[in-house]
């Protein structure tokens, strides 16, 4: 199982951010960050919040490595697609109905 320190380390590496830069931007000491990425300590909730905001990742991903928001977005997209199809089918039916006019009966 990947630890939070490894995810922070990977984010820093991917974005070419040093512990000093991260420290200056978040107010967390560089030595504390070093302890996290070397698996000597786990960050506290307030630090996790600062790190997640800095890197633009969810706190849940930072803690667990999972992306629950992706599943939520997939469900929303599927729902929207279904609604779009239903709407499109309704519009198509209206067009067909307008093209097929029922002749009116002549009154004597």
pLDDT, position 76: 85
Q: Could you tell me which residue, 73 or 59, shows the higher pLDDT?
A: 59
3-class SS letters over 82-105: HHHHHHHHHHHHHHHHHHCCCCCC
- pLDDT grade for 49, boundaries at 50, 70 and 90: very high
Alpha-carbon distances, residue 75 vs 59, 60, 72, 84, 102 (angstroms) = 21, 19, 5, 14, 42
Question: What percent of the chain is predicted at pLDDT more than 90?
Answer: 52
pLDDT of residue 2 exceeding 60, the answer is no
4-64 has which CATH code? 1.10.260.40
pLDDT of residue 91 exceeding 90, the answer is no
Q: Could you tell me which residue, 98 or 82, shows the higher pLDDT?
A: 82
């Amino acid at each position: 199982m990947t630890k939070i320190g490894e995810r922070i380390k990977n984010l820093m590496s991917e974005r070419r951010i040093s512990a000093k830069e991260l420290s200056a931007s978040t107010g967390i000491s560089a030595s504390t960050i070093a302890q996290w990425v070397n698996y000597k300590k786990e960050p506290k909730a307030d630090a996790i919040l600062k790190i997640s905001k800095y890197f633009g990742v969810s706190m849940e991903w930072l803690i667990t490595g999972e992306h629950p928001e992706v599943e939520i977005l997939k469900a929303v997209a599927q729902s929207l697609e279904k609604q779009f199809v239903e709407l499109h089918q309704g519009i198509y039916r209206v067009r067909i109905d307008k093209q097929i006019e029922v002749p009116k009966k002549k009154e004597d």
